[in-house]
Structure 1
Amino acid sequence: MRRRLTSVAALAALCVTLTAVAAQPAQAGRAPHPIVAARPPMGWSSWSSLRGNISEAAIEAQADVMHRQLQRYGYQYVNVDAGWSDHLDGYGRDAWDATKFPHGIAPVARYVHSLGLKFGIYLVPGIPKAAVDANLPIYGTPYHAADIADTTTLGNTLGDSWRIDYTKPGAAQYIQSYADLLASWGVDYIKMDFIGPGGGNNPADNTGDIQQWRAALDRTHRRIHLELSNSLSFDDASVWASYANGWRIEGDVECYSSCPGFLTNWKQRVVKRWTDAPKWVPFAGPGHWNDMDSVEIGNGDVDGLTPDERVSVMTLWSLQSSPLLLGTDLTKLDPYDLSLLTNREVIAVDQSGRPARPVSQATPQQVWFSDNGHGSYTVALFNLDATAATVTANWSDLGITAGRAASVRDLWSHTDLGAMRDGFGATLAPHAARLLRVQLSHR
């Protein structure tokens, strides 16, 4: 079983990536591919709650709950993460663990589809070392794994594969055979993990792989979301730009090396997500949503978060238009957490696709906002401190002319708070948040 190299504690999983899939600027002479996720994806991933303890029955049980309780709110992806494959097929491609999936992957995908949901699966780039050692044939060609492998360079940041040399005959055909196989199973979403350049245990540059995978998936004529995970770094904007624009990536970019995720201590979690999120904002949009990680809300206090902290997490994720991919066991949903996950007004903020920025991060009391146009703003108040404090949003900081009145609505409580002139403030408990819609009043 492949495993992630990220630290996991209170929030047990690091989800994925820059999510959403959309057409990027086309390269010269090439038509853009169709938008697969014009809005941030919503769904569930197996890693955080189940790790590799997955099976046909376990995945179908999660799908059943999503269908009954979450689907009507927009949740649709049921994603199988690492642990589904324990060997390669005769052509060097991942094959399912027959103990966990005795009937194969395709029947599970069909079951998920029968509920009106979509099915996702997990891969890593490169050609597996085991395929090269056995010199397995490449499907539909006279070539073999050793013919396309560069055994001087690792194929991903995990280090379990060799780099594919795409100048060699058979290399593109290997990726196409893989894409065709997954499409035949009914896969709608691929999480490609341990992607570089960026971090991870080993240096790797997978720009060529992602270019080949995107093109191969497009040729299947199946709308498959491609998400990139784990090692890409957001520290260098030019790296991201080369992915989003140069390779027209349709998918997500995860930053496990530069933002190793949530740790046990709340302050450390704040430092990593609340401080990193603003620099990711320019890279978000249809087809490339910044994934803040799996949403560790759903099972009460299992993940070590207080009720206020859960509200803050869901508020920040929604403000950033992050994919809402749940990392909890859906068969054990806590009623309070379910109310957070199904708040339609908060979900609408996420799906609007307008990531917010902080007015300032000089103190733990922070105001974040996005301009929705037509005199409407989404505003969040955060108290990231360990003691209660007052947080105030001044309309002038949002670009609103001094003296203008604005109506304020609390999106968590679905309450209209009335017209406010100059600003709005509230005293917040430790690690608590408020999420507001501010609408300018007519003069």
Structure 2
Amino acid sequence: MRKPIRGALAAFAGALLLATGVTAAGAPAAQAADSTTTAKPVLGWSSWSFIRRTPTAQNIEAQAKALKTSGLVKDGFVYANVDDFWYHCPGSQGPDVDQYGRWVTDETAFPPKGSENGIQVVADYVHSLGLKFGLYVTPGISKQAVAQNTPIKGTTYHADDIATTTDEANYNCGGMVGIDYSKPGAQDFVNSWADQFAGWGIDYLKIDGVGTPDIGDVRAWSQALKQTGRSIHLELSNNLDINNAAAWQQLSDGWRTGGDIECYCGPNGSSYPLTTWSSLTSRFDQVAAWAPYGGPAGYNDYDSLEIGNGANDGLTLDERKTQMSLWSLAASPLILGTDLTHLDPTDLSLLKNTDVLGVDQDGIDARRITDGADSQVFAKTEKNGDAIVGLFNTASAPREVATTAKALGLPGARDYALTDLWSHGTTESAGRIAADVPPHGVALFRVHPTHQVVRGAAPSVTLGLDWAPAASDSTTRTVTATLTDNGSRPVTDAALALTGPDGATISTTSPTRARTLKPGGALQATYTIALKPSDELFAASDFQGTASYRFGPGTTHLDVGDTLTVNHAVGAPYKTYASTTASFSQSGTRLGIRAQGEDLYQPVDEYGTIYLPGAEHDGSTTTVKIDAQANTSVWAKSGIMVRNDITKAGSSAGYLALVETPGNGYLLDWDSNGDGQLDSQDSTGTATYPSWLKLVRTGTSFSGYYSTDDSTWNLVGTIDLPTAAATQDVGLTATSHAAGTTGETDFDSFTTN
């Protein structure tokens, strides 16, 4: 289920900023004036990812005990946090409240013990293990408190004196309204709630659903927690506005920079898998954008660390290393979301890697050095002058990823020691910092400049493949394989080779062997490849580059791979357009789109399309068959798009999309206010392949249908689109709903009349 997107009035937001004395983000603040300053990013565990909607005293205590017995507490993982659903929520009227308007603990899940509240009972147990305890709240006041007009503790005021009629974001329970902090009694209400939490032994408080209009709530909670006299960490969530980074810095100890890392894609409501690669890759841009605003007063929070349950994490082993490396480079809080009572031994070893944890705990944010199509490089300089660099391969095949000591900001030196923080091995480099990185993997190095060649260390040697530009439908390609000695010592007996699929002819006139590679030298061979013709829309061929060399007594072997995809040109009358990375293909009546794209719903409008200009009009019927759709996300979208100008993503009106999704059935999305963004949705059915879609226009009314047999048609929805022009563009569209991940959709029999 989508979480609602709450709009914010600019004038109201500006007034709040002025009223709270907070300026919009410009230069990052040097020190948080009002927050309880956090010296290092916090480490711990939270209930949301795995336990989610069913926290109980029993399962929270079991996780806290596992945090202790696993030994993670010795490495600094000390917080055990209860997220949502600890309180009693009867429905849309809002959480149940006590005599002072504060949420009531769900006593079935958290039974009291004598006079002790059930949450306090769990907090006491957590503290007995030497851990700290966290809890969850959202801005505002419950509608039930307003309806009952509950008194505000210690004052003559009541809930109705401070409440507004504006709904607040409580994602799961609902029923919260805003607080007018200009009214007497408003701060007292939050103070009484904070006092209650402090009395229960809370050490960490997460405020969820925070947006720009909630700066007043954040300030009130910041002040309220301080006046309790108890040190309580204040964390804000989620998807906070970077334009208000100065406010989050001033008022809190940490702030979520994006949406949830969880994929919510498990079968039958299962928590597993916890996340996906596409959810992880969206954080690269966040880390780059938010780098100026983290530490030491508070830290950018990139959400839960989904490491601990092996394959159930939803990530490969290399992807799990990527997540922990990126979070650590970014000095993010490391709050585990996994089931600690069933820890995977390999994952536990990742979490207990003190070299990597040290990168996180230095509290320094990394900056982005490289933002490539299939690579990312982030680096930071530590207080001792060493650089920490992450070489990330975002491609689906092994790749060489490289940068230089100069790009890392290191001084010139005779040599550089490269310590791999995952394998703990050390190589040496003359200045080129490179590694052959597995698919979706990372090489995480500590780079230390030295005045002499690093003793006992082999040179860093890497292998790369570089494809020459060519037309996408060309069956003849050229690739250059390069074996590079990045070190200050020579290697010997170097050799190169390239292999490919059956039917491909591979030839080279270049030397593929060298007796010696001097320091900084390279063996390079250019190969010509003739591919077997194919009528597939996107014919993929896998190639493997291999190399070997000697240093010392043994022979070292390297290999990198790549997938070459050949498509066919799309011919008239069709045209193509993309607002994201996309490619297109046509073979007879079959049409294909391979596209990335974060989403096709406000505020994002990223898609690839094969379209017919001006072909949609009153009386039109458009149909298409979807043969196959890549499951890059349960929200990946493929189908029919209509808008006044399909080449004006994000702005053109008269906009709708009738689409199929792998996990959420068939959708009719449309732009209800003419601003060029899809903001409304009807949905039905369960995805199956093949499927057929049909869109019928009558005037400005559009009806969308789906069929699983091209005979029986099921209505998805009928909507009126008053901004639709008399003639519009109509086309096929696809978005992967996974930034940086490409998904393919194969269509057939696209017709419109």
Fold match (TM-score > 0.5): yes
1:214 is aligned to 2:222: yes
The residue that corresponds to 1:182 in the other structure is 197
The residue that corresponds to 2:156 in the other structure is 142
Distance of 1:170 and 1:260 partners within structure 2? 34
The correspondence for 1:330, drawn from 326, 340, 358, is: 340
Report the more deviating stretch, 80-89 or 365-374.
Answer: 365-374
One-letter amino acid of the structure 1 residue matched with residue 53 of structure 2: G
Alignment of 1:237-276 (within 5 A): 239-244=244-249, 248-256=250-258, 259=259, 261=261, 263=263, 268-276=278-286
One-letter amino acid of the structure 1 residue matched with residue 231 of structure 2: R
- Given that residues 387 and 410 in structure 2 are in contact (C-alpha distance below 8 angstroms), is that contact kept between their aligned partners in structure 1? no
The residue that corresponds to 1:193 in the other structure is 208
Identical residues among aligned pairs (%) = 44
- Given that residues 376 and 438 in structure 1 are in contact (C-alpha distance below 8 angstroms), is that contact kept between their aligned partners in structure 2? yes
The residue that corresponds to 1:49 in the other structure is 50
**Structure 1 residues 4, 213: CA separation in 2 closer, same or farther (over 3 Å shift)?**
farther
**Cα distance per residue 1:358-409 (max 9 Å; x no partner):** 2110332232210114431101111110111111231121123456411111
Give 1:260 shift: 5.6
Instruction: Output the aligned Cα RMSD.
Output: 2.2
User: Helix, strand or coil: the match of 1:89?
Assistant: coil
Distance of 2:360 and 2:443 partners within structure 1? 15
The residue that corresponds to 1:122 in the other structure is 136
Give 1:212 shift: 1.2
Higher gyration radius (CA): 2
One-letter amino acid of the structure 1 residue matched with residue 443 of structure 2: R
1:409 is aligned to 2:411: no
Distance of 2:368 and 2:257 partners within structure 1? 20
Distance of 2:161 and 2:328 partners within structure 1? 46
Structure 1: tracts of 5 or more residues without a match = 8-21, 27-31, 198-204
TM, length-normalised to structure 1:
0.86
Distance of 1:342 and 1:354 partners within structure 2? 20
Alignment of 1:353-432 (within 5 A): 353-401=363-411, 404-417=414-427, 419-432=428-441
**Structure 1 residues 321, 55: CA separation in 2 closer, same or farther (over 3 Å shift)?**
same
Distance of 2:379 and 2:413 partners within structure 1? 19
One-letter amino acid of the structure 2 residue matched with residue 90 of structure 1: Q
**Cα distance per residue 1:236-284 (max 9 Å; x no partner):** 3xx111332xxx212222234xx56465796633541112210100110
- Given that residues 155 and 164 in structure 1 are in contact (C-alpha distance below 8 angstroms), is that contact kept between their aligned partners in structure 2? no
Alignment of 1:279-298 (within 5 A): 279-298=289-308
1:24 is aligned to 2:31: yes
Greater share of residues in strand: 2
Give 1:4 shift: 9.0
The residue that corresponds to 1:163 in the other structure is 178
**Structure 1 residues 278, 58: CA separation in 2 closer, same or farther (over 3 Å shift)?**
same
Count of residues in Structure 1 that have an aligned counterpart in Structure 2: 404
Distance of 2:277 and 2:309 partners within structure 1? 22
The residue that corresponds to 1:5 in the other structure is 3
TM, length-normalised to structure 2:
0.52
**Structure 1 residues 75, 403: CA separation in 2 closer, same or farther (over 3 Å shift)?**
closer
The residue that corresponds to 1:351 in the other structure is 361
Give 1:288 shift: 1.8
The residue that corresponds to 1:81 in the other structure is 83
One-letter amino acid of the structure 1 residue matched with residue 209 of structure 2: F
Alignment of 1:29-40 (within 5 A): 34-35=36-37, 37-40=38-41
The residue that corresponds to 2:121 in the other structure is 107
- Given that residues 261 and 273 in structure 1 are in contact (C-alpha distance below 8 angstroms), is that contact kept between their aligned partners in structure 2? no
**Cα distance per residue 1:162-195 (max 9 Å; x no partner):** 2111222211111110010000000000000001
Report the more deviating stretch, 124-133 or 73-82.
Answer: 124-133
**Structure 1 residues 170, 402: CA separation in 2 closer, same or farther (over 3 Å shift)?**
closer
- Given that residues 409 and 415 in structure 1 are in contact (C-alpha distance below 8 angstroms), is that contact kept between their aligned partners in structure 2? yes
Distance of 1:433 and 1:314 partners within structure 2? 10
Distance of 2:163 and 2:65 partners within structure 1? 42
Give 1:232 shift: 1.7
- Given that residues 35 and 253 in structure 2 are in contact (C-alpha distance below 8 angstroms), is that contact kept between their aligned partners in structure 1? no
**Structure 1 residues 222, 4: CA separation in 2 closer, same or farther (over 3 Å shift)?**
farther
**Structure 1 residues 438, 156: CA separation in 2 closer, same or farther (over 3 Å shift)?**
same
- Given that residues 78 and 131 in structure 2 are in contact (C-alpha distance below 8 angstroms), is that contact kept between their aligned partners in structure 1? yes
**Structure 1 residues 114, 57: CA separation in 2 closer, same or farther (over 3 Å shift)?**
same
User: Helix, strand or coil: the match of 2:256?
Assistant: coil
- Given that residues 261 and 272 in structure 1 are in contact (C-alpha distance below 8 angstroms), is that contact kept between their aligned partners in structure 2? no
The residue that corresponds to 1:202 in the other structure is none
Report the more deviating stretch, 156-165 or 208-217.
Answer: 156-165
**Structure 1 residues 74, 126: CA separation in 2 closer, same or farther (over 3 Å shift)?**
same
One-letter amino acid of the structure 2 residue matched with residue 215 of structure 1: Q
Distance of 1:307 and 1:66 partners within structure 2? 21
Distance of 1:211 and 1:98 partners within structure 2? 30
Report the more deviating stretch, 370-379 or 307-316.
Answer: 370-379
One-letter amino acid of the structure 1 residue matched with residue 178 of structure 2: R
One-letter amino acid of the structure 1 residue matched with residue 152 of structure 2: I
One-letter amino acid of the structure 1 residue matched with residue 433 of structure 2: F
The correspondence for 2:235, drawn from 209, 227, 246, is: 227
**Cα distance per residue 1:274-298 (max 9 Å; x no partner):** 1221010011002321111101110
User: Helix, strand or coil: the match of 1:122?
Assistant: strand
Query: Which one has more relative contact order, counting CA pairs under 8 Å at least 6 apart?
Result: 1
One-letter amino acid of the structure 2 residue matched with residue 88 of structure 1: V
User: Helix, strand or coil: the match of 2:149?
Assistant: coil
Distance of 1:270 and 1:61 partners within structure 2? 28
**Cα distance per residue 1:321-354 (max 9 Å; x no partner):** 1100000010010001001111011000000011
**Structure 1 residues 397, 23: CA separation in 2 closer, same or farther (over 3 Å shift)?**
closer
Distance of 1:267 and 1:161 partners within structure 2? 34
One-letter amino acid of the structure 2 residue matched with residue 303 of structure 1: D
- Given that residues 195 and 225 in structure 2 are in contact (C-alpha distance below 8 angstroms), is that contact kept between their aligned partners in structure 1? yes
Structure 2: tracts of 5 or more residues without a match = 6-28, 89-95, 113-117, 266-274, 453-753
Give 1:208 shift: 1.0
**Cα distance per residue 1:90-133 (max 9 Å; x no partner):** 21111210100112111110110111100000000101111111
One-letter amino acid of the structure 2 residue matched with residue 45 of structure 1: S
